[in-house]
C-alpha cells in the first residue's frame, strides 16, 4: 500500500509526531504510518502492531515490497545491531494477519460499545440516507440484493465502503448480536484506523488467507 506523504503540511506539524525510516524503502514517515518489527533473544523477530513488545525495534511501510527489501542482505542485522536468524516472509505475513484480525475486531467492538457502530437493516439504511455514516463495512457473504441497496445509498451520499474478511456469522459473533451483514461507523476517528488495517489485510492475504 502506498501511503501518501503530504508535502504541503507545515514543518511544525511533522515535528509534532515521531518520525521513523522504513528498513525497506528508506523513506521517512510518521511513526503511526509504519509497522514496528521487534527483536529479542527469547522471541526472535516479531511484527509488533501495537508497538508494545520488548527489545530493539525497526520499522517498515505496510507494503510487501518493503518487507521483501527489509529481509535482504544484512539490513535486519544492522537495525538490531547483531547477526540474527532471518524469518521468512510467510511467517511475518502470518503474524501480521493474526494481529490485524484481532486489532480490527477490537476496533469494531469499541465502536459498537461507544454507540459509534450501527447495524440492522432498518436503522442502518436510515442512517445511510441521512448521510450520518462515515464508513460502511460489509460482511464478505452479504446477500447480493442487500449489498446492492447499501452500495446505491453509499454512492448517493458519498460514503466509503469496505468489505470485511468476515462472514455474517463471524461479524455478528464479534458484535455479540446474532448474524450481521453490515456495520456502519459514525464519527471521524475510527474509519481511518479501520481502513488502514483492512488495506494491510488485503495486501498480505495473498501470502496467508484468513478471517476473524
DSSP annotation of 27 reads -
Residue 145 in grid coordinates: 440484493
Give the whole-angstrom CA distance, residue 177 versus residue 118: 11
Give the whole-angstrom CA distance, residue 49 versus residue 69: 19
Nearest CA to 47 among 102, 106, 107, 98? 98
Q: CATH 3.30.1330.30 residue ranges in the chain?
A: 113-204
CATH 3.40.50.970 for the 113-204 domain, yes or no: no
Residue 149 in grid coordinates: 441497496
- pLDDT score, position 205: 66
Instruction: Over range 130-145, report the average pLDDT.
Output: 96
Quick: pLDDT tens for 79-118.
999 999 999 999 999 999 999 988 999 999 999 999 999 9
- Written in H, E and C, the secondary structure of 73-137 is CCHHHHHHCCCCCCCCHHHHHHHHHHHHHHHHHHHHHHHHHCCCEECCHHHHHHHHHCCCCCEEE
- pLDDT score, position 11: 45
Class in CATH terms, 11-87: alpha beta
Quick: pLDDT tens for 158-179.
999 999 988 999 999 988 878 9
Other Cβ atoms within 10 Å of 197 Cβ, number? 19
| pLDDT band at 9; cut points 50, 70, 90 | very low
Q: CATH 3.30.1230.10 residue ranges in the chain?
A: 11-87
- pLDDT score, position 55: 86
Q: Assess whether pLDDT exceeds 60 at residue 8.
A: no
Quick: pLDDT tens for 28-57.
999 888 999 999 998 999 999 888 898 889
Amino acid at each position: 500500500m502506498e501511503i501518501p506523504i503530504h508535502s504541503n503540511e507545515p514543518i511544525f506539524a511533522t515535528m509534532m509526531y515521531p518520525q521513523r525510516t522504513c528498513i525497506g524503502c528508506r523513506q521517512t514517515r510518521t511513526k503511526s504510518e509504519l509497522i514496528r518489527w521487534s527483536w529479542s533473544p527469547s522471541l526472535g523477530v516479531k511484527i509488533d502492531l501495537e508497538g508494545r513488545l520488548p527489545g530493539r525495534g525497526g520499522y517498515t511501510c505496510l507494503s510487501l515490497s518493503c518487507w521483501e527489501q527489509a529481509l535482504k542482505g544484512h539490513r535486519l542485522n544492522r537495525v538490531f545491531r547483531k547477526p540474527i536468524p532471518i524469518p521468512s516472509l510467510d511467517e511475518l505475513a502470518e503474524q501480521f494477519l493474526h494481529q490485524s484480525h484481532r486489532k480490527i475486531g477490537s476496533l469494531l467492538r469499541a465502536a459498537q460499545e461507544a454507540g459509534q457502530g450501527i447495524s440492522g437493516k432498518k436503522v442502518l439504511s436510515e442512517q445511510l440516507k441521512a448521510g450520518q455514516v462515515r464508513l460502511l463495512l460489509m460482511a464478505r457473504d452479504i446477500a447480493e440484493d442487500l449489498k446492492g441497496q447499501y452500495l446505491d445509498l453509499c454512492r448517493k451520499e458519498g460514503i466509503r465502503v469496505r468489505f470485511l474478511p468476515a462472514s455474517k456469522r463471524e461479524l455478528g459473533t464479534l458484535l455479540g448480536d446474532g448474524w450481521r451483514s453490515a456495520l456502519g461507523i459514525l464519527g471521524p476517528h475510527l474509519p481511518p484506523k479501520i481502513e488502514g488495517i483492512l488495506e494491510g489485510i488485503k495486501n498480505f492475504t495473498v501470502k496467508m488467507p484468513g478471517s476473524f
